[in-house]
Structure 1
Amino acid sequence: MKLLKIYINSFRGLSSESWMLALVMLINRSGSMVLPFLGVYMTDHLKFDIKSAGIVLSFFGIGSVVGSWVGGMITDKIGEFRVQSISLFLSVPMFCLIPLFHTEAGLATIIFIQSSISEAFRPANSVAVSKYAKPGNITRAFSLNRMAVNLGFSVGPALGGILAAISYDFLFYSNAAGALLAGLTYVFFFRNRSYRNKEKPDRAISDTSVSPYKDSRFILFAAACFFFSVCFFQILNTLTIFYKQEARLSAEKIGYILGFSGVIVVVMEMIMVQIAERYLKLKTTMLLGTLFCAVSFGMLAAGTSLWILVVSISILSLGEIWALPFMATITSLRSGTHNKGAYMGLLGIAFSLSFIITPSLGTFVAERFGFTFLWLATGIILGMTAVAFYYIVPWMIGNKKESH
């Protein structure tokens, strides 16, 4: 009962704009059913070989990098409202055009363009979350958005599997419908809204006009985020291969484990974020969250029994909660009034680069040296990254909790 009370209290104080941004994200991500099935679409429907499918998928990652960079840059020039609106509405025809391309070069091109447009939404959305959140509630506002993302990604692939069984074209048209509905919802609610979090420049933290690409301290932080994401996002590829090949789990059991992870994040994130905000400094939160992830991956070197896999994914989920949303908070605190989009864009690039590197790097290490070596190396790298966060964060924003 007490835990339920804490859970309910964790949502109090969030602005109506924060809730609506989360709703827009939920609608948009519920329609995001193309990516999990894109590889299957190419190999099964278009008869691409695995190498060709991999090349096309890499263009999605490249487009993500370009979209994060451009989206962050133009957000500071024209505002996050226009960038999010343009990104959502332009995504509609892009998704509809994908089924018209059947060659490797054509599909790679349209996927690159679509990814660049859709990923420009992310830094603009992060800026909106930080500006519409009530002062002192930024991390919880980001956590609410992440909850919407997790719920959306739970619904999207399930719907995608049903639609793919009927026709792959439905996947792309449903994605277009999701983007259109999200765009209409966003424009209707936010077209005349005023910011709640009108922060004052803090010269002790950052010059409000400096470029993040010239901010050596933030570049170090973004590099640490990159190493974290390269390790963590093995959950999307290498980890599932490990479950299949080494643990001999069926696709159904793999789905249950990943679904269990999503449930932990949805149920526990707001509670754990509230605890961290109340009792821990940002450097400590990042240290503990990253160390949890290190322990989770390191455990996998001990064996493949089901209890190890379940405990490992549980610890990984808790580590994710105390790492990912606070990265956005720290970025918001480091940035100034007029360069927040550029800072969020550089953070997005750090994650997008990992989407390009992680699949090939993880599978290469696993094939060459074995999964045991991969998981031990992942744990060591995350442990080093945790220490880096502990020293970099106070160097950037001071030795503090979330504050302004």
Structure 2
Amino acid sequence: MKQLYANYVNSFKGLVPEIWILSFVTFINRAGAMVIPFLSIYLVNNKGFSLPQVGMIMTCYGVGSLLGNYVGGILTDIIGFYKTIVLSLFFGGLGFIAIQFIETYIAMCIGVFTLMFAVDVYRPGIFVAAGTYGKESDTTRNIGLIRLAINLGFSIGPVVGGLLIAKVSYNSIFWVDGATCILASLMLLFALKPKKVEHKEEHTNVEKQGVKPYKNGLFLLFFIIMVINSIVFVQYFSSVPLYYSDHHKLSADVIGWIMFLNGVMIVFLEMPLISWLERKKMSKTIATFWGIILLALSFIILIFSDWFGVLIIGMILMTLGEMVGSPFSSALALDMAPKGRKGSYMGLFSMSFSFSHIIGHNAVLNSIYQFGYNTTWVILFLVLLFAGLLTLYLLKRLKTSSEYSTY
């Protein structure tokens, strides 16, 4: 046990203070993200919108996220990641506070689109920051620490949100969410000494190298792989909980505990796992491949038995895939981005998750309606196998390309 604890602590050693500050700010921000899990319920019960209207509002959510990531990447290259993150947190906080006062359907569509645009401008900047501070060899661990902060915050946020709704009101979560975003922006503003960071970012002339991400064939292939992976991954936030409820007849609290397993595993295991894989010299592309395969296995295992334990095994497989694939795929995207264009590359990379929200939920739920759960899980398994083959092809191309020294 002592050795396990020592290995866990050692996985964090050597990370620079700036990454710890960014991670703490991210934790504060994500712990306050309590509106999102309750948004659809709020729109139906408190605002009186119909389910088709809520569906369109959630589409606006995805489109806002998509454009926010795109613009965030451009802003990161123009004004630097520091200013981009601060502005996103501050205006996102104002957006969370303001959206509770919207009453009409069209205005809510515009409001949710604008809110998610402001919130997700943040994403490319945080990835670039992870690759800027500390040694280049620490980039994957930097991303892992920030992901740990995100997951720890997401584990706490819904619990606090539920208590606020029960004890105070729905509107209270908008105030708290907005306040935590603004608090996070102010903490970053003062804790990271902005003038010093700005000097490093804005007064060092970095010549733009390479081509734009949309003209980089290998990066576009990687983007397609990430879109496919993300479309399947987000089912754990829509289709899979429905499967637990409809097929296995599980209550909401039991479903919550199964989902909680994901956050607990990431908090305690991801950083040691990343450190171990780096010591084993696993390439970032191979780690991405295994992340996809583990996610595929988490779906196909569901068709073999109705035993409750299969659900736990499926969640463990998905979480292992997330822990292996996500940090290394993010680090691979940074490696593939040439100097002076990291913001735009990470903007496109982040947009893969936004595309998944626009496409994934609707497509898979319609598949379940037409073909049933088990057939849909087989389809998702085969789609991920195809993505795995594309990843191996990408690895082959990276090895033969003179542009990339790491893969």
TM-score range, shorter chain: over 0.9
Map of 1:312 onto structure 2? 314
Matched, 1:167 2:169: yes
Counterpart secondary structure, 1:129 = helix
Q: Distance in 1 between matches of 2:19 and 2:405?
A: 17
Q: Does 1:372 align with 2:405?
A: no
SS at match of 1:100: coil
1:31 counterpart = 2:32: yes
Task: Find the aligned partners of 1:289 and 1:97 in 2 and give their Cα distance.
Answer: 39
Kindly tell me: are residues 100 and 221 of structure 1, through their superposed partners in 2, closer, same or farther at Cα, counting changes over 3 Å?
same
Following the alignment from structure 2 to structure 1, what is the Cα–Cα distance between the partners of residues 108 and 119? 16
- CA–CA separation in structure 1 for the residues paired with 2:394 and 2:283: 13
Identity %: 31
CA apart distance, 1:398: 6.8
Query: 2:400, 2:195 → 1: CA distance?
Result: 35
How far did residue 84 of structure 1 move? Answer: 0.8
C-alpha spacing 1:69/1:376, structure 2 compared with 1 (3 Å): same
Helix, strand or coil at the partner of 1:90: helix
Alignment of 1:126-165 (within 5 A): 126-165=127-166
Query: 1:72 touches 1:124 (CA, 8 Å); kept in 2?
Result: yes
Q: CA RMSD in A?
A: 2.1
Q: Once the 2 structures are TM-superposed, how far is the Cα of residue 262 of structure 1 from its aligned partner?
A: 1.2
- TM-fit CA distance, 1:272: 1.2
Partner of 1:202 in structure 2? none
For 1:317 and 1:402, how far apart are their aligned partners in 2? Answer: 30
1:4 CA displacement: 2.1
Within 5 Å, which residues of 2 pair with 1:225-304?
225-279=226-280, 280-304=282-306
Q: Is the 8 A contact 1:136 1:403 kept in 2?
A: no
1:395 CA displacement: 2.5
Mind listing any 5+ residue stretches in structure 2 that lack a counterpart? 202-207
Residue of structure 2 in register with 1:221 after alignment: 222
Give 1:192 shift: 3.4
- Structure 2 residue aligned with 1:203: none
Whole-angstrom distance in 1 between the partners of 2:41 and 2:318: 27
> Would you say how many aligned residue pairs link Structure 1 and Structure 2?
396
Query: Match for residue 92 of structure 1?
Result: 93
Post-superposition Cα deviations, 1:316-349, rounded to whole Å, max 9, x if no partner, equal 1001111111111011101122100000000111
Name the CA distance, whole Å, in 1 between partners of 2:73 and 2:60. Answer: 20
Range 185-194 or range 34-43, more displaced: 185-194
- Give matches, 1:374-389, under 5 Å: 374-389=376-391
Conserved 8 A contact 2:287-2:329 = no
Deviation at 1:304, TM superposition (A): 2.6
For normalisation by structure 1, the TM-score amounts to: 0.94
| Secondary structure, aligned partner of 2:100 | helix
Structure 1 alignment gaps of length 5 or more: 199-206
1:13-32 equivalences under 5 Å are: 13-32=14-33
1:5 CA drift (Å): 2.0
CA distance in 1, matches of 2:98, 2:284: 44
Q: What displacement does 1:67 show? A: 0.1
What TM-score, normalized by structure 2, do the two folds share? 0.93
The 1-side partners of 2:306 and 2:231 are apart by 22
Deviation of 1:133 (Å): 3.4
Instruction: Rate the CA distance shift 1:351–1:393 in 2: closer, same or farther, 3 A.
Output: farther
SS at match of 2:195: coil
Question: Whole-Å Cα distance in 1 between the matches of residues 395 and 38 of structure 2?
Answer: 38
